[in-house]
Amino acid sequence: MILAKVVGTVVASQKESSMDGLKFLTLQQVDLEGKATGGFVVAADAVGAGVGEMVLYASGSSARQTKATENRPCDAVVMAIVDNWETDGTLKYKKGRDD
Amino acid sequence: MILAKVVGTVVASQKESSMDGLKFLTLQQVDLEGKATGGFVVAADAVGAGVGEMVLYASGSSARQTKATENRPCDAVVMAIVDNWETDGTLKYKKGRDD
Amino acid sequence: MILAKVVGTVVASQKESSMDGLKFLTLQQVDLEGKATGGFVVAADAVGAGVGEMVLYASGSSARQTKATENRPCDAVVMAIVDNWETDGTLKYKKGRDD
Amino acid sequence: MILAKVVGTVVASQKESSMDGLKFLTLQQVDLEGKATGGFVVAADAVGAGVGEMVLYASGSSARQTKATENRPCDAVVMAIVDNWETDGTLKYKKGRDD
Amino acid sequence: MILAKVVGTVVASQKESSMDGLKFLTLQQVDLEGKATGGFVVAADAVGAGVGEMVLYASGSSARQTKATENRPCDAVVMAIVDNWETDGTLKYKKGRDD
């Protein structure tokens, strides 16, 4: 999985019908310090994440292992909202403190 | 999924027979500002996208989760035509306005 | 899929037995202008492609969706020989003219 | 698989329910000399690895081939703790000596 | 598949039990000239390859399509030992001559 920040949403009314009802979030990848790496992706939302939240997303076939994305042409899914993480014993991100 | 602009088409008459009838689109990847990143891919079309349109495409096994691409040697599919997207509350792309 | 030029072949007599009879082609990836990107891969041949031809190849599990590669440890397959492609309305490659 | 060092943990209480009980580890990728490459990933733990240990992780659908991760939206798993490795006949890493 | 040279081995006694008995090889990727690209990976061995040999490896779910790796958390497998390859009609590598 990759750490990322939700920065926006994509609207697409004309799409493969199985994608109806899925919310598309734009994500900026961050490194273990919480800094943007320059990488980005559009992911389906499986956990009710909102803009500004730090999340984990899964890619590839693993992105279809949620109720929201099963059997759909979806290759990235937000499957967790991050509370905090630490690196080498130091708290690098804490929801609320670092948003 | 990745945001991309349809820039052209590929014709290939000699191919794995299961690919008959599929349309191959060439796509230029764009970033969250809508600028070309330099990345590109050839994707099958599952939604009737045309040259000049902004789309979302899915890669890997997820590219086979459409009626058009099921069980075929296809690793990228256009599965949505983008109407608009916004980043940090700003509208970055709007179909019609930014084409 | 990715556009690539067939530049050679690999011979490997000692291999997983399910790979017997498959032809391994070396491919140089090209961009939408037809120029080599520096990327390369070894792909199984599913369409009878030869050295010098421009092709499309598929990667990952999609590379196993041909009769030649089904259920085999093969992660890249040539599944089409390219006749031509155009970008922004300009013919960038035409078989015969640009070989 | 890729060699990596476990450097921390991620806490995420709000997640796809199938992920309950899984431990998320942050990993720094290392090269064959044991030096950090700059790459990183968040992986589920299938072997009881701890911070500071050198491990192997698998990505993609292969990350779901453990009891801990089966059928879950998980695209990276720590599936082995490394005792040692050698390159060109030289011991490059030995657990205990190089931690 | 990717061309690579076997440069060493990894020992990991504590691992997902399904991985017992598999040999882990460290591989340095090479380009079509046979030169190291800087890329590397740890792959399971399905063909009895040894240090110093030039091989092909497959990645992703295709790495599980051998008897040795079926249903295991393994995302890279050595599935062939290379005898030789040629590029644009020139022999670039020949086992025995270029080892």
Per-domain boundaries in chain A? 2-13+22-94
Q: Which residue has the tokens 């800094």?
A: A35
Of C11, C60, C63, the CB nearest to E85: C11
Tell me which chain D residues have a C-beta less than 8 angstroms from the C-beta of A3.
Answer: 10, 42
Confidence grade of residue C27 (pLDDT, cut at 50, 70, 90): very high
Distance CA D89, CA E8 (A): 7
A16 with B62: Cβ contact below 8 A = no
Task: Give residues with Cβ within 8 angstroms of C74, minimum separation 6.
Answer: C19, C22, C44, C63, C64, E1, E58, E62, E65
Of B9, B64, B75, the CB nearest to C1: B75
Residues of chain D above pLDDT 90, percent: 99
Q: What is the pLDDT of residues D10-46, one digit of tens each?
A: 999 999 999 999 999 999 999 999 999 999 999 999 9
pLDDT for residue A99 is more than 90: no
Burial class, A9, CB count within 10 angstroms (exposed 0-12 / middle 13-18 / buried 19+):
middle
Q: Name beta bridge partners: D26.
A: D8, D42
C8 with E61: Cβ contact below 8 A = no
Chains touching C (at least 3 CB pairs under 8 A) are B, E
Count the alpha carbons within 13 Å of D50 in the hemisphere toward its beta carbon: 3
pLDDT, position C56: 98
Q: What is the fold, at CATH topology level, of the domain defined by A2-13+22-94?
A: OB fold (Dihydrolipoamide Acetyltransferase, E2P) (2.40.50)
| A and B: number of Cβ contacts within 8 A | 100
pLDDT, position D92: 97
Q: What is the mean pLDDT of chain B?
A: 97
Confidence grade of residue A66 (pLDDT, cut at 50, 70, 90): very high
Minimum distance, in Å, between the CA of residue B37 and any CA atom of chain C: 13
Nearest CA in chain C to B63: C62
E73 with D86: Cβ contact below 8 A = no
Tell which of B65, B69, B86, B93 to mutate to test the A interface (max A CBs under 10 Å).
Answer: B65
Q: What is the pLDDT of residues A25-48, one digit of tens each?
A: 999 999 999 999 999 999 999 999
Q: Which amino acid would we find at residue D19?
A: M
Containing D24, the helix (H) or strand (E) segment is strand D24-30
- Based on DSSP, count helices (H) and strands (E) in chain E, helices before strands: 0, 8
Q: Name beta bridge partners: E24.
A: E10, E44
pLDDT, position D32: 96
E83 with C13: Cβ contact below 8 A = yes
Q: What is the pLDDT of residues E34-86, one digit of tens each?
A: 999 999 999 999 999 999 999 999 999 999 999 999 999 999 999 999 999 99
Angle at alpha carbon of residue E57, lines to E56 and E59, rounded to 5°:
150
Of C31, C48, C61, the CB nearest to B61: C61
Task: Summarize the confidence of residues A11-15 as an average pLDDT.
Answer: 97
E61 with D58: Cβ contact below 8 A = no
pLDDT, position E79: 98
Of A14, A28, A63, the CB nearest to B80: A14
pLDDT, position E63: 98
C74 with E61: Cβ contact below 8 A = no
Angle at alpha carbon of residue B48, lines to C31 and A78, rounded to 5°:
75
Task: Summarize the confidence of residues C46-71 as an average pLDDT.
Answer: 97
Cα Rg, chain D, nearest whole Å: 14
Of C56, C58, C65, the CB nearest to B10: C56
Residue numbers in chain B where pLDDT is lower than 50 = none
pLDDT for residue D99 is more than 90: no
Nearest CA in chain A to D63: A62
Tell me which chain D residues have a C-beta less than 8 angstroms from the C-beta of E75.
Answer: 1, 58-60, 62-63
pLDDT, position E61: 98
Tell which of C27, C29, C75 to mutate to test the E interface (max E CBs under 10 Å).
Answer: C75
pLDDT for residue E92 is more than 90: yes
Tell me which chain D residues have a C-beta less than 8 angstroms from the C-beta of E19.
Answer: 79-80
Task: Summarize the confidence of residues C15-20 as an average pLDDT.
Answer: 96
CB count in 10 Å sphere of residue C83? 16
Tell me which chain E residues have a C-beta less than 8 angstroms from the C-beta of D45.
Answer: none
E73 with D61: Cβ contact below 8 A = no
Complex-level ipTM? 0.96
Q: Strand pairing of E36-45 and E24-30?
A: antiparallel
Of C46, C69, C85, the CB nearest to B10: C85
pLDDT, position C99: 84
Distance CA A40, CA D67 (A): 31
Would you give the distance in Å from CA C76 to the centre of its chain? Answer: 8
Q: Model's pTM, two decimal places?
A: 0.97
Nearest CA in chain A to D64: A62
CATH code: domain D2-94 is 2.40.50.220
